[in-house]
Amino acid sequence: MRRRLALLVAAAMALVLAAFLVPLALLLRAAAEDRAVATALAQAQALAALVATADAQSLRLSVEQANVDGAHPVTVYLPGGTVVGAPVAATPAVRLAARSGSFTVAHAGGREIVVAVQGLPGGTAVVRSFVPESDLHRGVTRSWLVLAAVGAGLLLLGLAVADRLAVAVVRPIRGLAAVSEGLSAGDLDRRATGEGPPEVRAVAAALNRLAGRIRDLLRQEREAAADLSHRMRTPMTALRLDAESLADPADAERMLGHVDALDRALTAVIEDARRERTAPSCDAAAVVAERVAFWSVLAEDQARPVRTALDPGPRPVAASAADLAAAVDALLGNVFAHTEEGTGFAVTLRATPGGADLVVEDDGPGIAPGSGERGVSAGGSTGLGLDIARRTAESTGGRMTVSGSRVTLELLTER
């Protein structure tokens, strides 16, 4: 935009300068021609007065002196054929002037000036002067160079002023873009400054109001999620009481362990919902290894073969440990929920230049088409498991791909 504004101003100024300087240059050229012709004409007219009044000797001395002092040669053609001054043969203009009077004629090499002196005893005398082309345009080239320098200076000055104006407009817009990038990255404390033209300040104010509104909506959403999780405390308490009342101590201990795990998960959900979002990061190798170890216990109970290939850590990715753990749990939970007991699965974590790829694959029939969209499931579930995994991958700047029974999460280090 800065360059476009500069080019626009340069084009406008060039047109204005051309409209002003070109006529001025032509006027200077015409003025120089008129000045040279007027000088030569005045000299010829002065000698014409001597032709009518002075004797032959005085006229000859005056013409010689005029040729010495003047810039243009002068020749006087007397009625008897005598030529005084520069020896130039009578031209058609001289012969015409002897019959019709004074005039000026343009030639390829300059201007010829002839002045008729009528009323002499022997006839009409003619005074001739010639102004060469170099004298007609003397000083014009220098004047044009001065005009060109003035025009270039004005153009450069206009470009400098236009650049400063463009910077005054572009800098606030770049600030708005930086604030927008910060907001999209999760920094809801970023605000735009009220700089620049009124229109840019209006956009900055609107962006600040939008950022504040987004922050309020997210705060309300976090509180709503925390409240919803808190409401589950009552049924959990009832579940704990039922588990404690079981007759078999082993079953009671097992059920209480599950209730405690659920209680910890709810507590983590409440804390995560109320926590202000910052740039998340975790060690994918450690999180995946911990969740695979958790699910391996249940896999052993169901006689499911577990194959793991986890690159050693640390493997930092731009996701929180809780989010990544939820994604792994969602993928492995789908394996247990939608395949028969005894069906094996494999978990692979491969390091990539930009982060890591997590691959979960089972030996079952594969995922039905359309699964992975939020709320869509072919197995009678809520359809949120794959969506959780997908959103976790996309939050890092990566993506989720599904191919048969293979699910791949592309996890990036920096969003």
CA torsion sign for 387, 393, 397, 403 is negative
**What's the CA gap between 379 and 377, in Å, rounded?**
5
Which tokens sit at 343? Answer: 């069906």
Residue 372's pLDDT is 47
65-107 residue pLDDT tens:
887 777 778 888 888 778 888 888 888 888 888 888 888 888 8
| Neighbour tally for 347: CB within 10 Å | 24
Which tokens sit at 110? Answer: 């300059």
Query: Does residue 321 sit in helix, strand or coil?
Result: helix
Residues 388/327, Cβ–Cβ less than 8 Å: yes
CA torsion sign for 286, 290, 291, 292 is positive
214-255 residue pLDDT tens:
888 877 877 776 666 667 767 777 787 887 888 888 888 888
Q: Where are the beta strands (DSSP E) in 57-176?
A: 74-77, 83-85, 103-107, 110-120, 123-132
Q: Which of 375, 356, 376 is nearest to 367 (CA)?
A: 376
Residues 74/85, Cβ–Cβ less than 8 Å: yes
Residue 349's pLDDT is 93
Instruction: Find the helix packing angle between 140-184 and 2-53, rounded to 10°.
Output: 170
336-348 residue pLDDT tens:
888 899 999 999 9
Q: Measure the CA dihedral 274/278/283/289, to 10°.
A: 20
**Chain centroid to CA 382: how far?**
46
**Chain centroid to CA 391: how far?**
32
Burial of residue 236 (CB within 10 Å: 0-12, 13-18, 19+) is middle
For the stretch 57-64, contacts whose Cβ atoms lie closer than 8 Å and that sit 24 or more positions apart, written own/partner, are: 59/84, 60/84
Which bin fits 280, alpha (ψ -120 to 50), beta or left (φ > 0)? beta
For the ranges 56-70, 181-195, 270-284, 394-408, the one whose mean pLDDT is highest: 394-408
180-222 residue pLDDT tens:
888 877 777 788 887 777 888 888 888 888 888 888 887 787 7
Burial of residue 43 (CB within 10 Å: 0-12, 13-18, 19+) is buried
Q: CA Rg, the chain, in Å? A: 50
302-332 residue pLDDT tens:
899 999 999 987 889 988 888 899 999 999 9
Residue 382's pLDDT is 40
**What's the CA gap between 30 and 136, in Å, rounded?**
9
20-65 residue pLDDT tens:
888 988 888 888 888 888 888 888 888 888 887 777 788 788 888 8
Domains of the chain (ranges; CATH) run 2-138 (3.30.450), 142-229 (no CATH), 280-412 (3.30.565.10)
Spatial neighbors of 294 by CB under 8 A, at least 6 apart, are: none
136-166 residue pLDDT tens:
888 888 888 988 898 888 888 888 888 887 7
Residue 272's pLDDT is 65
Residue 320 φ/ψ, nearest 5 degrees: -70, 155
How long is the chain? 415
- pTM higher than the cut 0.85: no
Residues 326/382, Cβ–Cβ less than 8 Å: no
